[in-house]
Amino acid sequence: MQPPFQLVDLDRTAPASAGAPRDRVLVGVAAEHRDPPDGCDILLTATPDPPRPWVGCTNPHATARRLEDIVTAQPAAALTLVQVLRMGARLAPPERLVVESLAYSTLQSGVGFRTWLASARHRTPRPVAEPVRLSRDGARLTITLDRPGVRNAFDAMTRDALCEALHIAVADPTVTRVDLRGNGPAFCAGGDLAEFGTSRDPAQAHLIRVERSPAALLQRCAHKVTAHLHGACVGAGIELSAFAGRVRAAPDTVVRLPEVGMGLIPGAGGTASLPVRIGRERTAYLALSGTELGIAEAFAWGLVDEVTSPVAV
């Protein structure tokens, strides 16, 4: 069976947007960027620092071949990713989170995720009593992820505690500013791998994910929120912070979405938050490739609004 991947050489032809196949990941390549054609999920060009939605790379065809290898290795996750991103452009923000969760839960039962899980190193859960710390100074509420020993890996307890904190920000009109921080060497290293695969009921997991959603709460109070990033901002770390009205980041900040390589898609709101900041095509590239963005590119793309000096918390 052929992988669900199609390369379009835009220097020779153009995708037929009306008839573009919806059962494939469509990657367009061009020597120089131009007005973006409709229909492509990812657009690659040799132009240095091209404008959105293009992704600049030294050899677009070689990059496309690497993407094809990823699609071949994880076809269900790769195709589901671009389908969710396509649909998201036509949905209201809250509905994007529901679609993402449905897709994520479906993939949790898939062969791709189960194969990755079987090969993953076993990790012992390391819960803490208070994974999120709150402090209040007048109208300012500071929310700090506080599991420094695991680089603030995002587990169920952290999710629930963050929801409780964000409920305050949403419900209390006297809170006019929210600072979201991470204690220790990283803002957030992503989902806690010690919990991956522990859910035996994906349908129930979907319902819990929608009911206890930090992403949904961040959508409601984003105008109040400034996220302060440093170190690793992986998976949930960048998915949640991208909802913030303002993102400040230290020079050591690195961004990555690794989920497709695990047979999944971003599940903490990334298919809703990142497209608003960088567009669906660059979101698809970042999630499909699993590539790491340093601070310069994260700033140039719009994932970061301001580069700052590191601040101890």
Same domain, 64 and 141: no
Give me the pLDDT at residue 20, please: 63
Domain assignment of residue 281, yes or no: no
Same domain, 48 and 109: no
Same domain, 119 and 170: yes
Domain assignment of residue 149, yes or no: yes
Which domain covers residue 44, as residue numbers? 5-73
Report the number of distinct structural domains present in the chain.
2
Global confidence as pTM: 0.94
What's the CATH number where 104 sits? 3.90.226.10
Give me the pLDDT at residue 234, please: 98
Domain assignment of residue 277, yes or no: no
Same domain, 68 and 157: no
pLDDT digits (tens, 9 = 90+) for 109-145: 999 999 999 999 888 888 899 999 999 999 999 999 9
Question: Which residues, including other chains, have CB under 8 Å from residue 155's CB and lie 6 or more apart?
Answer: 125, 127, 131, 147, 191, 192, 194, 195
Domain assignment of residue 85, yes or no: no
* φ, ψ for residue 178, nearest 5 deg: -125, 125
Give me the pLDDT at residue 289, please: 97
Domain assignment of residue 186, yes or no: yes
Alpha-carbon distance values, 108 to 202, 205, 260, 262 (Å): 7, 10, 12, 10
Same domain, 53 and 167: no
Same domain, 101 and 250: yes
Same domain, 124 and 243: yes
Domain assignment of residue 253, yes or no: yes
Give me the pLDDT at residue 221, please: 97
Regions of the chain short of the pLDDT cut 70 = 1, 15-20, 310-313
Give me the pLDDT at residue 1, please: 66
Same domain, 234 and 118: yes
Same domain, 185 and 57: no
Please tell me the distance from the alpha carbon of residue 182 to that of residue 230, in angstroms, as a whole number. Answer: 8
Domain assignment of residue 37, yes or no: yes
